[in-house]
Amino acid sequence: MPKAFRHAAVVGKFQARGIAPVLEEIANFLVARGLDVFFERDTAQAMGGELGGFEAHSAAELGRRCDIAVVVGGDGTMLAFAREMARFHVPLVGINAGRLGFITDIPLDRYKESLAPILAGDYEEEHRSMLEGSVWRQSNGVSERIFEGLSLNDVVVSRGGTAGMVELRVDVDDDFVANLRADGLIVATPTGSTAYALSAGGPILHPAIGGWVVVPIASHTLSNRPIVLPDGGEVKIGIVAGKDVSASFDMHNLASLLLGDQIRARRSAHQVRFLHPRGWSYYATLRRKLRWYEGVV
């Protein structure tokens, strides 16, 4: 049996009204089950310092001190914190206080009955792959990395809000794939396949699949279709033409890229660990969140 936990981090959705009492209630619930509890520093600041005696630490310090993290909010809150915790291998539990909740899957009004068995070591664990993204620029004949970041969802290259199409060259490792003219391009993980990539017409990838989905955004040529690639290679996106081109790594943006810049995406050495209540099902999540017809059971 998996061991129970001893030190918990609590992270909350900063902008949500009335979140402070909820977070403190969850923190006290954890304490009552014998855990030492610490708040994430930005969460504590958003609560105005009203922590009920709990310590607050940076994400890095929580990663070193805690063996479980409880994230209260929506998928955006989870995305931001998951990137911080991946290198520490700290498992995450998501309590949904947002709207969609693909990766914050425990309803807020049922957190007690879902969280208690997890804290006792009765849970289902899954690992999610991440993208390691970077931007490279030629300077005096030398290619230099000017930005790098981790993405749990996707790396997106897109045109500016008032600009026309961009032209992008796509390579996988040393193999040329295509030049395309479009509003942009998405490289998504299986987790990110149900985010922007899905709305752009991409397929859903099961989290256990070792692959990426590459999805053009409003391609000028209808034959430029989404493609699923193995995650062992590096996807390279070169900017051939276009104005105000930007790259986004989950919620981290790098704007005003130059012609000739290249965005690279490859599998990260780190994975995100999610803990779910016993009986959790990815397919049930899809049915519930995408409102698929369930039929008669």
pLDDT per residue over 250-287, tens digit each?
Answer: 978 888 899 999 999 999 999 999 999 999 999 999 99
Known catalytic membership, residue 75: yes
Distance CA 275, CA 296 (A): 30
pLDDT at residue 297, rounded to an integer? 55
pLDDT over 90, % of the chain: 80
CA distances from 223 to 47, 168, 215, 262 (A): 50, 15, 12, 24
Q: At 90, is the secondary structure helix, strand, or coil?
A: coil
pLDDT at residue 101, rounded to an integer? 82
pLDDT at residue 191, rounded to an integer? 97
Out of 42, 67, 75, 244, the active site residue is 75
Hey, what are 6's tokens?
Answer: 């001893």
Tell which wins on pLDDT, 42 or 128. Answer: 128
Beta-carbon contacts of residue 291 (< 8 Å; ≥ 6 apart): none
pLDDT at residue 1, rounded to an integer? 43
Average pLDDT over residues 5-13: 94
pLDDT at residue 267, rounded to an integer? 98
Tell which wins on pLDDT, 46 or 16. Answer: 46
Query: β-strand 68-73 against 92-96: which pairing, if any?
Result: parallel
**pTM (predicted TM-score):** 0.92
Phi, psi of 252 (to 5 degrees): -100, 120
Is 249:241 a contact under the CB 8 Å cutoff? Answer: no
Domain with CATH 3.40.50.10330 in the chain: 7-123+277-290
Considering the four listed CATH numbers 2.102.10.10, 3.40.630.10, 3.40.50.10330, 3.40.50.2300, the one that applies to the domain covering 7-123+277-290 is 3.40.50.10330
pLDDT at residue 18, rounded to an integer? 73
| Residue-wise pLDDT tens digits, 69-101 | 999 999 999 999 999 999 999 999 999 987 778
Average pLDDT over residues 189-215: 97
Tell which wins on pLDDT, 53 or 143. Answer: 143
Average pLDDT over residues 20-24: 90
pLDDT at residue 109, rounded to an integer? 92
DSSP string, 258-269: -TT-EEEEEEEE
Is 201:194 a contact under the CB 8 Å cutoff? Answer: no
Distance CA 267, CA 286 (A): 24
Mean pLDDT of the chain: 92
Domain with CATH 2.60.200.30 in the chain: 130-269
For the domain bounded by 130-269, which CATH number is listed? 2.60.200.30
Tell which wins on pLDDT, 88 or 243. Answer: 88
pLDDT at residue 253, rounded to an integer? 85
Buried-state track 166-188, b at ≥16 Cβ within 10 A, e below 16: bbbbbbbeeeeeeebbbbbbbbb
pLDDT at residue 198, rounded to an integer? 96
Q: Which amino acid is at 50?
A: E
Q: Is the pLDDT of residue 52 over 80?
A: no
pLDDT at residue 140, rounded to an integer? 85
| Residue-wise pLDDT tens digits, 149-199 | 999 999 999 987 777 899 999 999 999 999 999 999 999 999 999 999 999
